[in-house]
Amino acid sequence: MYNQHGAMVAVKSRLVIFDSEGVIKMPDRLGVTINKFIMGEQLSIPHATGDFSGLLNELVVATKVIAREVNKAGLVDVLGKTGNTNIQGEEVKKLDEYANTAIIQKMDHTGYLCAMASEEEDGIIEIEDKHPQGGSYTLAFDPLDGSSNIDANVSIGTIFSIHRKISSAPKGTLADFLQRGSEQVGAGYVIYGSSTMLVYAAGQGGVHGFTLDPSIGEFLLSHPFIKIPERGKIYSVNEGNSHKWDDRIKGMVDYFKTDDKQTGRPYSSRYIGTLVSDFHRNLLYGGVFMYPGDADNPNGKLRLLYEAAPLAFICERAGGGSIADYEDILDIEPTTLHQRVPLYIGSKGDVDICRKFLKGEM
């Protein structure tokens, strides 16, 4: 149940943290702050130095800063465009830029990172010499996913992926980012929606959700040990692209739309247009999100390193599945920082059906 360093286990669905002196009973599972939870997980990792915990806790603060600004959107001049475009050729919104800067400025002097990568930055973000050097981790992130929805007050999010530094160079290099998703040491996302929620998984641990209580400024444990249903009843895809799909994709989407009570079909169509929000709903309710490659964009739209891979890490830890064409997302060897991949992610049973269509077996 626990080792000499302690551990955190679910006992009769209540969370207790064991430490070397004894048992710290949770007053109730809603009273657990994310910081305490992260420390609890660290207790169960014998060789943990505390750097990973420190990194996560600093990142949590950055997301609170972003949440504060997102929640003011519409009241102060943070809406609208900056007039710039990013490497993706997408218009950069003021909140995009704010979120990007908030994470970089919060994380660059912690000493935990060797480098960062952001959807908003062309190359990797070096840790300047004036800051502590020698960090053991990389942080790749999409600072504000779904930003095209900002002005319409539709939920948006931050996605992050953490790898261990593997290069021998003194500073982080591109090679430290181009690692398979299965090598991630942690990943997560924040949704700025009806409430602000942070979901993460680390190491071999489970998937846990925390909801921000604005009255105390703390993320409190609200969804411990999230598991995605084996099959869902929801499919999420932008059918406006269907004229560009090949027959495999058309057959796949038609399958989910076909009336067949025996196999729980038709599924309901739900599409928010913000990846983290569509993913999060399917994680909790079950279902499959699809962003296929098409005639115009054979590799689809979504990015591997800071969108598909971190969500795939979360999904697999929650018992779900995630594939690109028919290769597991977590097995893909990245070649470039901003590479795009087709994405099929969600309930294992539903993703297996996608895989069969992609292989021409259905």
204-208: Cβ within 8 A, 24+ apart: 205/41, 205/317, 206/317, 206/318, 207/283, 207/314, 207/317, 207/318, 208/37
- Using the rule CB under 6 A, give the single segment among 23-31, 183-191, 273-281, 346-354 that binds ligand P6P: 273-281
Nearest partner of 160 among 202, 204, 126, judged by Cα? 202
At its nearest, how many Å lie between ligand P6P and the CB of residue 149?
A: 7
Nearer to ligand P6P, 146 or 321 (CB): 146
Amino acid at 179: Q
Number of residues lying near ligand P6P (CB under 6 A): 8
Q: Which of residues 137-156 bind ligand P6P (CB under 6 A)?
A: 145-146, 148
Angle at 358 between CA 270 and CA 286, to 5 degrees: 30
CA–CA dist 122, 144 (Å, integer): 16
At its nearest, how many Å lie between ligand P6P and the CB of residue 311?
A: 10
* Choice from 208, 301, 317, 340 touching ligand P6P (CB under 6 A): 301
Q: Which of residues 56-115 bind ligand P6P (CB under 6 A)?
A: none
* Choice from 273, 285, 328, 339 touching ligand P6P (CB under 6 A): 273
| Phi and psi, residue 192, nearest 5° | -100, 90
At its nearest, how many Å lie between ligand P6P and the CB of residue 354?
A: 16
Q: Which of residues 222-251 bind ligand P6P (CB under 6 A)?
A: 238
- Using the rule CB under 6 A, give the single segment among 14-22, 71-79, 270-278, 318-326 that binds ligand P6P: 270-278
Regarding 20 and contact with ligand P6P (CB under 6 A), the answer is no
| Phi and psi, residue 302, nearest 5° | -85, 150
Q: If phi over 0 gives left and psi between -120 and 50 gives alpha, with beta otherwise, what is residue 63?
A: alpha
Contact 8, 18 (CB under 8 A): yes
At its nearest, how many Å lie between ligand P6P and the CB of residue 29?
A: 30
At its nearest, how many Å lie between ligand P6P and the CB of residue 274?
A: 5
- Element containing residue 98 per DSSP (H, E): helix 94-107
* Residues whose CB is less than 8 angstroms from the CB of residue 148 and which lie 6 or more positions away in sequence, other chains included: 90, 93, 273
Regarding 340 and contact with ligand P6P (CB under 6 A), the answer is no
Rg (CA), the chain: 20
At its nearest, how many Å lie between ligand P6P and the CB of residue 192?
A: 13
At its nearest, how many Å lie between ligand P6P and the CB of residue 345?
A: 11
Binding stretches for ligand P6P (CB under 6 A): 145-146, 148, 238, 273-275, 301
